[in-house]
Structure formats: structure tokens, C-alpha cells
Amino acid sequence: MAPVKPVIHRSTIENSPLLSCYNRETKKSSLCRLAILETEALEEVMALHQSVISELENPDLYIPYTREEMAGYLNQEHGFLLGMYDETGLGAFRVIAWPGEGKDNLGHCLGIAQSQLGQVIQLEGTNVHPRYRGNGLQCLLTEKAMGCLQPFEREGILLTAVSPLNGRSLVNMVALGMHIAGLKNQNNKPVRLVLRKSLFQESQQWQKGPWVEAGDIESHQKMLTMGLKGHEAKMDAEKGLQVRYGRPLLSHEGAIMR
């Protein structure tokens, strides 16, 4: 299959209606606009990024970007940034990457064939200013960003890596239709859960299986070795963050195609 050659359709973003987001500072809703960020936005991107990193209670939840990495996304060499602005400045951004066949491609963790690595589109970090947290911007910005790439949706493989301790991100990504398909083992860094979704896949039905604790890496490995995928996530008042594993059910159409 030919590699995905992403084209960012700016009109999809430029013609988007303004967003109404609750502003924690003003205690009122603010009208915000979306924008594909350019190189000149580097300073405000790094300022928001450093602010978010400095406030993390658990630094293991998030791997910071270097200035060079951010510049590479802003000039759209390795991806792009979708930003959200209010009247005072940058309120949030989402990083979308196309890693090619390089070592950063999460497809290596899943055993994706070399010929398909070029189809991978990766969801990287989301940074949200404290005044806009609680508006569901991680999901919203992801959906808007994918809308920019719609012409390639039948070719793309969407991947992301999430810390098993980052409950909010894990629940959000599963809600977007992604499922845990593998693990990313990192030297001197905590293991990440690798989630996958084929962009042409509208929805997936699952044969429900056992629940495991999100932080129990051995249980994740056991489920994945059995051929199960993590397709549901929830916060339990007593047990904490839980992930349900199961097998995908083929639709009648999919069964015929196989």
C-alpha cells in the first residue's frame, strides 16, 4: 500500500464555527477559534507547554517535547499542531504526527508490517491551559484534526501511546473508538499502552471479557498475549482505573469480506 501523504485541509478548520468553552478564570463561557499553528507560534506554544509540564503532579504521565520537535511540527515537516485561541491568546493545542518508518513510529510496537508503517498517523500530546480544562478539548481537538485529513481516512492507521496511570487520556482515547493493542517498553521510562484504530472503521462491537487494573502491566501483557484488546475504560470508586478486554466481533459485512 502506498504511504499516506497527509494534506492539511485548512478550510475545514478556518470555516469551523467558534467554540463556546467555559473559562475557569472569568467563570463565563468564552468564544474560541481553531487554527492550524504556524512557525511564528513557537514561542507561545512552548510557553503553554512549559506551563503544563511544570504543573504535573506526576511527571511520568507526560514526556516533554523539545523546542526542535515543536518546530518540526509547526513547519509541518513531521506533523502539525491544531490550536485553540481565545481573546487573550493560545488556550490549547493538539499535536498530530506522521512518523514515517522511523523508530518513533508506534507501529513497531504492534508488529505492523514495514509496508504499512507509512500509513500511520499518531496522536501525540494535548496541552490545555488551566482556564479551559474540563471542556473535553482532548477529544474535540482530535476529532477536528482528523477532519483535516478526511481524504486519507481509508488509508490511515491511527495510533497513540498513553500512560496506564493517565486515566483521563485513556478514557478519552477509548471513547474515540481506539483500543489497546500493545505495549511500548521504554528504557528508564514507564511502559505506555499503545492504542490503535483504523480511520475507515466507524465503530466496533466487542465480545466482552475480563476487567484489569490499568496500572497492572502484567495483566495487560497476559490479555494481549491471549489475543484480546482493551476496548473499554472506566474509573471505579474502589478499584481505580479499570480496563475491559475482549475480542472484536465481525459485522456481517466484515465476515463476508474475510
Pairing outcome for strands 157-162 and 189-198: antiparallel
CA 204 to chain centre: 18
* Residues 6 or more apart in contact with residue 43 via CB below 8 angstroms: none
* Residues 6 or more apart in contact with residue 42 via CB below 8 angstroms: 67, 70, 71, 74
Is the distance from CB of 213 to CB of 242 less than 8 angstroms?
Answer: yes
Delineate the domains of the chain, giving CATH numbers in brackets: 10-102+114-153 (3.40.630.30)
pLDDT of residue 76: 87
Pairwise CA distance, residues 199 & 155, whole Å: 7
Pairing outcome for strands 189-198 and 205-213: unpaired
pLDDT of 1 higher than 60: no
Banded pLDDT at 165 (limits 50, 70, 90): confident
pLDDT of 152 higher than 70: no
Give the relative orientation of helices 67-74 and 42-54 as an angle to the nearest 10 degrees: 130
Pairwise CA distance, residues 55 & 256, whole Å: 51
CA 118 to chain centre: 18
pLDDT of residue 110: 95
pLDDT (tens digit per residue) in 185-222: 877 667 899 999 987 666 678 998 999 999 999 999 99
Helices (H) and strands (E) in the chain, counts: 8, 11
pLDDT (tens digit per residue) in 7-29: 788 888 988 999 999 999 999 99
pLDDT (tens digit per residue) in 78-87: 899 999 999 9
Please tell me which of 40-44, 62-66, 195-199 the model is most confident about, judged by mean pLDDT. Answer: 40-44
